[in-house]
């Protein structure tokens, strides 16, 4: 596997991604600052998010609780929308600074833009692991597809890989903000690699800058992704849980030390610093299960089929009145996206309000 000029695999230096996301708040100058700081902190790559609100959420999603407080997420995403030139300039600046540019798409418009920009790989976020139309678009691009696997089961990963196939890298992840270190179950990494036959890594949402990243490398992670910010006091959605430059630099240095040292020595160092019990809890049982902190999000954070507008009794379901959205907390989840072709052409059994998930009870 190769991303840009970087080879990806256990036998190569870990590919370290600074997840900038939307912490730039749409300010190009701040995005440039973040890129410079990530490079100076030792990142190999910076990753952004290409936001078009209507690809992610229904306008009636409402306010949800995030680390920074209660936020109307749809309106926040609307405010973060930028023209294609914004992302093109950021990519140009990133590559000028010697880093690899990655960006996460959320639907047809954003992935079309990334293909036009000729990005080196496509990064799919955990909630979109079951967004099959998006995965199909990523697969036909012919470049590596990095799949985060938070809030997912083995069957979800298997379905995604049936589309993306051997182009994929799997990133073990816990979809919670912040994610508790002791729930990471990092012994799953060699199992995922063995089951699916693709490289593995970790997308880490925990707060500690050493524990999960270094243990991930010890267990075979070839990519480590960590949120990055200039300051925890920033107003970005992920700033409260992201690493500031000094801690990111410390993380990178420890990962590089781990790569040069005997793994058993690094494991002993971690146990001396954090305690044997803590380290063993983070390593976990190695079985792919939903972590306690993300278990309740399985039906809401992931994608499901919703109504775009009010649907009347007897109305035919069509691509014009259905969409694939994250439900979040205020809207009823609907069918898995894989079932969308089954309901197209069927009739509504009753009136369904705009934004609600469509279920078997709604169909004749």
- Cα(127)–Cα(56) distance, integer angstroms: 10
Top-confidence residue, 67 or 71: 71
Q: CA 334 to CA 356: how far, in whole Å?
A: 7
- % residues pLDDT > 70 (the chain): 99
CATH code assigned at 204: 3.20.20.70
291 within a domain of the structure (yes/no) = no
Q: Within this chain, do residues 55 and 140 fall inside the same structural domain, yes or no?
A: yes
Instruction: Kindly state whether residues 346 and 269 are assigned to the same domain.
Output: no
Concatenated DSSP letters for 270-330?
HHHHH-HHHHHHHH--------TTTGGGTTTTSEEEEESS-B-TTPBP-TTTEEEEE-TTT
> Are 163 and 274 found together in one domain?
yes
Tell me whether residue 184 is in a domain. Answer: yes
Does residue 239 share a domain with residue 164?
A: yes
Looking up residue 324, the CATH number of its domain turns out to be 3.90.1210.10
Q: Does residue 125 lie in a domain region? A: yes
Residues constituting the chain: 364
pLDDT at 69 (0 to 100)? 75
pLDDT in tens, 301-357: 999 999 999 999 999 999 999 999 999 989 999 999 999 999 999 999 999 999 999
Q: Do 168 and 83 belong together in one domain? A: yes
Mean local confidence (pLDDT), 9-18:
95
Arithmetic mean of pLDDT, 163-189: 95
Pick the last residue of a domain from 235, 255, 283: 283
Residue 288 lies inside a defined structural domain of this protein: no
Pick from 21, 96, 27: nearest CA to 51: 21
Q: Domain containing 339: what range?
A: 299-364
C-alpha torsion sign, points 201, 203, 205, 210: positive
pLDDT at 70: 84
Give per-residue pLDDT as tens, 18-69: 999 999 999 999 999 999 999 999 999 999 999 999 999 999 999 888 776 7
Give the 3-state secondary structure of residue 220.
Answer: coil
* 315 shares its domain with 191: no
pLDDT at residue 286, as a whole number: 96
Report if residue 189 sits inside a domain: yes
Mark whether 116 and 162 lie in a shared domain.
yes
Inside any domain, residue 289: no
Could you tell me which residues come within 8 angstroms of residue 158 by beta carbon, excluding any fewer than 6 positions away? Answer: 196
Are residues 227 and 190 located together in one domain of the fold? yes
pLDDT score, position 262: 82
pTM: 0.95
* Helices and strands in the chain: count of H runs, count of E runs: 12, 14
Question: Degrees (nearest 5) of the Cα angle 225, 228, 232?
Answer: 140
Residue-averaged pLDDT of the chain: 95
Confidence of residue 166 (pLDDT cuts 50, 70, 90): confident
Q: Which residues contact 287 (CB under 8 A, 6 or more apart)?
A: 185, 188, 191
Predicted pLDDT of residue 343: 94
Q: Are 325 and 358 in the same domain? A: yes
Of the residues 283, 316, 343, the one at which a domain ends = 283
Query: Closest by alpha carbon to 44, among 252, 220, 216, 209?
Result: 252
The mean pLDDT of 2-13, rounded to a whole number, is 94
Does any domain span residue 233? yes
- How far is residue 352's CA from residue 364's CA, in Å, rounded to a whole number? 13
In a domain, 290, yes or no: no
Task: Kindly tell me if the per-residue pLDDT of 129 is higher than 80.
Answer: yes
pLDDT in tens, 216-228: 999 999 999 999 9
Tell me, yes or no, whether 148 and 57 share the same domain.
yes
Number of domains forming the structure of the chain: 2
- What integer is the mean pLDDT of 211-215? 97
Residues 192 and 306 in one domain: no
* Residues 23 and 161 reside in one and the same domain: yes
* Cα 358 from Cα 343, distance rounded (Å): 9
Q: What is the pLDDT of residues 93-112, one digit of tens each?
A: 999 999 999 999 999 999 99
Residue 265: predicted pLDDT: 87
């Amino acid at each position: 596997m190769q991303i840009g000029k970087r080879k990806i695999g256990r036998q190569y230096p870990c590919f370290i991604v600074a997840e900038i996301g939307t912490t730039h708040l749409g300010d190009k100058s701040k995005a440039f600052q973040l890129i410079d700081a990530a490079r100076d902190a030792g990142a190999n790559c910076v990753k952004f998010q290409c936001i078009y609100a209507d690809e992610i959420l229904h306008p009636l999603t409402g306010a949800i609780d995030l680390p920074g407080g209660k936020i109307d997420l749809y309106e926040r995403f609307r405010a973060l929308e930028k023209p294609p030139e914004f992302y093109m300039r950021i990519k140009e600046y990133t590559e000028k600074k010697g880093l690899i540019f990655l960006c996460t798409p959320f639907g047809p418009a954003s992935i079309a833009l990334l293909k036009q920009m000729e990005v080196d790989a496509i990064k799919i976020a955990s909630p979109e692991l079951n967004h099959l139309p998006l995965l199909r678009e990523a697969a036909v691009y012919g470049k590596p597809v990095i799949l985060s696997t938070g809030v997912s089961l083995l069957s979800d990963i298997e379905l995604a890989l049936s589309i993306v196939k051997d182009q994929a890298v799997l990133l073990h992840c816990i979809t919670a903000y912040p994610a508790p270190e002791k729930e990471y179950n990092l012994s799953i990494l060699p199992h995922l690699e063995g089951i699916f036959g693709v490289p593995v890594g970790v997308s880490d949402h925990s707060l500690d800058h050493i524990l999960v990243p270094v243990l991930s490398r010890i267990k075979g992670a070839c990519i480590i992704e960590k949120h990055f910010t200039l300051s925890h006091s920033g107003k970005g959605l992920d700033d409260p849980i992201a690493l500031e430059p000094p801690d990111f630099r410390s993380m990178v240095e420890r990962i590089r030390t781990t790569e040069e040292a005997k793994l058993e020595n690094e494991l002993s160092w971690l146990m001396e610093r954090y305690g044997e019990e803590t380290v063993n809890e983070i390593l976990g049982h190695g079985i792919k299960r939903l972590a306690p902190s993300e278990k309740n999000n399985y039906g809401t954070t992931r994608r499901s089929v919703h109504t775009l507008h009010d649907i009347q009794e007897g109305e035919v379901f069509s691509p014009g009145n259905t969409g694939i959205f994250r439900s979040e907390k205020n809207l009823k989840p609907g069918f898995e996206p894989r079932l969308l072709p089954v309901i197209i052409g069927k009739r509504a059994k009753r009136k369904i309000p705009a934004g609600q998930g469509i279920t078997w009870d709604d169909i004749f």
